[in-house]
Structure 1
Amino acid sequence: MSTKIAIICSKAFMQRIISIAQTITNIQLEFYLYNHPAEAPALLKQIKPCDALLLGGTLPYLHAQSLLSELPIPWNYIKQDETAISTTLLSLVAKHAIPIHRISIDVMNPIFVDNVLTEIEYDGEGPYVQHISITEPTETILRQHIALWNTKSIDFVITSIHSVFDELQQQQIPAMRMLDTTNAIIQSLEETRSKSLLTKSESVKAVVGLLEIPEDTSVQSTIINHIAKATFSTYKQITSHSFELYTTAGHLQKVLEKGNLEKLIQKINQPFKLAFGYGHSILEATQHAQHALAFTKSYEIYVLDEHKNLLGPFPNSEGRLSLKTDDPYVLQMAKLTSLSPLNISKIINFSRERQSAQFTAQNLAEYLQVTRRTTERIIKKLVDKGYAKAVGEEMTHQQGRPRTIYELNFATY
């Protein structure tokens, strides 16, 4: 299965990435283009369901940095380093024979220029170096280049900012964009894909559960056996009426589906309290399970994840979501589709929690905990207004029509 990567970059950089990405198998690219890197935070809000995000440079990354932790998908950015600078300088000197001291160059980290010149044992007069910073308007960088040109201090400009390059071209000042090497772009794309695959593998990470049974319960072995079997857990007894379970996130997700839980509770037919914890270690997961257990009542299950989000109680909760029905984006969609703000919010969170951008009506029905017919009506309303689209069909081993595969067609992050 291919990895769908959203890329935030300039239009000029998009063409270079497309030409290079053809050498990489199993990736699908979707571009979100800016005229200026400061637009990167706004573009984050426009990203449609995908597997990972790649920002096309350090500057858009710095502008979007504070928002990246909120993304439910892995992200990466193409970093500027000494290789890019040395490659660009070599290209300029080879093609135009411009002396290094007659160049004005803007970079994210000026020390990289010094490092390159030191490595090649250059002992002449250095170039004019402009330091790029998100606290410094790009117009300032542009004015510095132009001022040096007007005073005849330079013969050429190397810029890392595409909008600056475009303006220099309009003013007929000789300039070139910083060359991101083919290897650097390939490495960034492959790293981003690897991060996505790693995130998906998180579904097998360890989870700790804590089970408490009333002391006067005479069938505790039956209860623990039912729960251990349903959650694919191994367990150990802590006290005469408490147990610790060990399973994986993938197995837990299956048992937390409402239908499965209801069947399990019917089988047990005895009071119990059960809580699970995720964590970056077994110790942390155990502590999270202990915190979740404090909220749990009989016949209920709570989960505390590694981000300390409390989910539940299962199976009676509407979902594991924090819904904001006062969001104008959600309200506008609700108005256009005639769906409730609650359903729109659930669909957005359904997309955020899935490891794949594609889904079937059955996938959504299980998440919304409604009938297949109701889900199909919801999807039809989304498709009719362009908020979802059919992208294929899934053949089953059973008789009957193939299932339609859909993708959401609006920003969910």
Structure 2
Amino acid sequence: MSTKIAVICSKAFMNRLNIISHEVPHIQLDFYIYNSPEETPNLMKQVKPCDVLLLAGTLPYLYAKHLLRQWPIPWTYIKQDETMISATILSAIAKHNVTIDRLSIDVMSSTFIQNVLQDIQFEGPLPYMQEIELSTPTKQLLTNHIALWQSKQIDLVITSIHAIYDDLTALGIPVIRMLDPKSSIIRRLNESISLSQLTKFESAKAVAGIIEFHKTTHNPLQMVEQLATIIHASYQQVDTCRFELFTTYGHLQNALTQNKLESFFTVSEKSAKLVFGYGESILEAQSNAQQALKYALPNAIYILTENKELQGPFPNTTTTLSLQAKDPYIVLMAKETKLSPLNISKIMTFSKSRQSLQFTAHDLSEHLQVTRRTSERILKKLVEHNYAKIVGEEMTYQQGRPRSLYELNFSTYH
């Protein structure tokens, strides 16, 4: 089966891509042509169903960046880099018999040019360079090129913008386009195929869910049916308060991305726990869902991945905690303190989420969702093994003993 790639590009790039694309089998190209990269966001609204979106350049990517955050299918873009600069400058020297200092180049980053010239140990005068920014009108770049030509400071313009190429050509000013090396284009087409295949594989991954209602919940079956419709799931009743659901990764992610599950908890008059497990098989997904249920809090969604990473709570602030002790440092901490790797992972997340280094047992208990007595026991174990230290006391305006201030004494950047 072929991979359908929507390509947003200039007419010149379309012609080049059509010449090259036959070397990449099993692809179908659907072009959306702009006269200026600024048109990219509007063209994205016209894209018909496809497997991958390919943007032909860094500039169209920058114009589309705000839309790509929520783009529902995989996307990639052809990046301007040192390889592109090297090929273009070599072509200019070989074909047009010009020296580097007699070039005017508009480029996404002048650092690319400087890196290339440093790599070849070039020690002569630099070319004229203009950095392309969204805030800089294309007309201004064009005007600068024309001024350099008219003042006889340059012999050739290299441009990254096809509209500037067309305008300079019409004026009879020598100009070439920034070259997109054939190898870079083929690499990006193959990457597009891989992105499509990976997405389809991920979307088909098995997902098992468990929903556990409060025992006094009225008519839970009706709510399960509504939930199953939202995530395109089948379900079965385990007991009076618990149901299992079966769906795919793609359907669940679509529901989470579009916030379709938020309303589920608002219609439930009693608290409910909802968890999902991912797996390469239904049995693995079920096992992960059952394990996630042990850590779930009411009225929130938790997910345990096939890599034993606990994600949640959705739809509120989401963190990822590892239930597997892979880091030797965490394994050692768990062994010495007799704390679980999950608790250590949560403590690391707690530390990274705070602006202040000092905290109280109450602060930690709120983050871990445990009693203050439990957090004090955890802190006692950390202090005993020098993974935390008491650095002072917090004075309160109420009666009672002052609360100890703690500071962690180990690296939390794992």
Q: What is the distance in 2 between the residues matched to 1:192 and 1:306?
A: 32
* Structure 1 gaps, min length 5: 217-226, 257-272, 295-303, 310-413
The answer on whether the counterparts of 1:277 and 1:288 sit within 8 Å (CA) in structure 2 is no
The answer on whether the counterparts of 1:278 and 1:305 sit within 8 Å (CA) in structure 2 is no
Residue in 2 aligned with 1:66? 66
The answer on whether the counterparts of 1:208 and 1:285 sit within 8 Å (CA) in structure 2 is no
The answer on whether the counterparts of 1:7 and 1:29 sit within 8 Å (CA) in structure 2 is yes
Residue in 1 aligned with 2:210? 210
Residue in 1 aligned with 2:191? 191
Q: What is the distance in 1 between the residues matched to 2:149 and 2:162?
A: 18
Change (3 A) 1:241 1:13: same
Task: Give identity over the alignment, percent.
Answer: 47
The answer on whether the counterparts of 2:300 and 2:314 sit within 8 Å (CA) in structure 1 is no
1:332-371 to 2 correspondences below 5 Å: none
1:159-198 to 2 correspondences below 5 Å: 159-198=159-198
The answer on whether the counterparts of 1:53 and 1:75 sit within 8 Å (CA) in structure 2 is yes
Q: What is the distance in 1 between the residues matched to 2:164 and 2:313?
A: 43
One-letter amino acid matched to 2:173 = I
Q: Secondary structure of 1:186's match?
A: helix
Residue in 2 aligned with 1:29? 29
Bigger radius of gyration among the two = 2
The answer on whether the counterparts of 2:301 and 2:312 sit within 8 Å (CA) in structure 1 is no
The answer on whether the counterparts of 1:285 and 1:306 sit within 8 Å (CA) in structure 2 is no
- Give 1:215 deviation, angstroms: 6.2
Q: Deviations over 1:326-375 (max 9, x none)?
A: xxxxxxxxxxxxxxxxxxxxxxxxxxxxxxxxxxxxxxxxxxxxxxxxxx
Change (3 A) 1:290 1:190: farther
Question: In the alignment, is residue 94 of structure 1 matched against residue 88 of structure 2?
Answer: no
Matched residue pairs, number?
267
Q: Secondary structure of 1:48's match?
A: coil
Change (3 A) 1:154 1:251: closer
1:213-252 to 2 correspondences below 5 Å: 249=248
The answer on whether the counterparts of 2:235 and 2:243 sit within 8 Å (CA) in structure 1 is no
One-letter amino acid matched to 1:39 = E
Residue in 2 aligned with 1:150? 150
Q: Secondary structure of 1:139's match?
A: helix
- Give 1:106 deviation, angstroms: 0.7
- Give 1:78 deviation, angstroms: 0.4
Q: What is the distance in 1 between the residues matched to 2:89 and 2:301?
A: 61
- Give 1:209 deviation, angstroms: 1.6
Q: Secondary structure of 1:180's match?
A: coil
Q: Secondary structure of 1:22's match?
A: helix
- Give 1:205 deviation, angstroms: 3.4
Q: Deviations over 1:109-156 (max 9, x none)?
A: 110000000000100001001101111111111011000001000000
1:310-325 to 2 correspondences below 5 Å: none
The answer on whether the counterparts of 1:148 and 1:154 sit within 8 Å (CA) in structure 2 is yes
Residue in 1 aligned with 2:136? 136
The answer on whether the counterparts of 2:300 and 2:313 sit within 8 Å (CA) in structure 1 is no
Q: Deviations over 1:12-51 (max 9, x none)?
A: 1100111111111111000000000000000011111111
**TM (normalized to structure 2)?**
0.57
One-letter amino acid matched to 2:204 = V
Residue in 2 aligned with 1:403? none
One-letter amino acid matched to 2:248 = A
Q: What is the distance in 1 between the residues matched to 2:113 and 2:251?
A: 52
RMSD (CA atoms): 3.9
Change (3 A) 1:291 1:215: closer
Question: In the alignment, is residue 3 of structure 1 matched against residue 3 of structure 2?
Answer: yes
- Give 1:204 deviation, angstroms: 3.4
Q: Secondary structure of 1:209's match?
A: strand
Change (3 A) 1:103 1:275: same
- Give 1:76 deviation, angstroms: 0.6
- Give 1:58 deviation, angstroms: 0.4
One-letter amino acid matched to 2:164 = V
The answer on whether the counterparts of 1:279 and 1:306 sit within 8 Å (CA) in structure 2 is no
**TM (normalized to structure 1)?**
0.57
One-letter amino acid matched to 1:30 = D
* Structure 2 gaps, min length 5: 217-227, 256-271, 280-284, 303-310, 317-414
One-letter amino acid matched to 1:188 = R
Q: Deviations over 1:73-96 (max 9, x none)?
A: 111100000000000110111112
Q: Deviations over 1:176-220 (max 9, x none)?
A: 00001001111111111211111111223353422437869xxxx
One-letter amino acid matched to 1:212 = E
The answer on whether the counterparts of 1:279 and 1:288 sit within 8 Å (CA) in structure 2 is no
1:98-137 to 2 correspondences below 5 Å: 98-137=98-137
Residue in 2 aligned with 1:49? 49
Residue in 1 aligned with 2:12? 12
One-letter amino acid matched to 1:74 = P
Change (3 A) 1:3 1:291: farther
Residue in 1 aligned with 2:225? none
Q: What is the distance in 1 between the residues matched to 2:111 and 2:75?
A: 26
Change (3 A) 1:308 1:30: farther
Residue in 1 aligned with 2:334? none
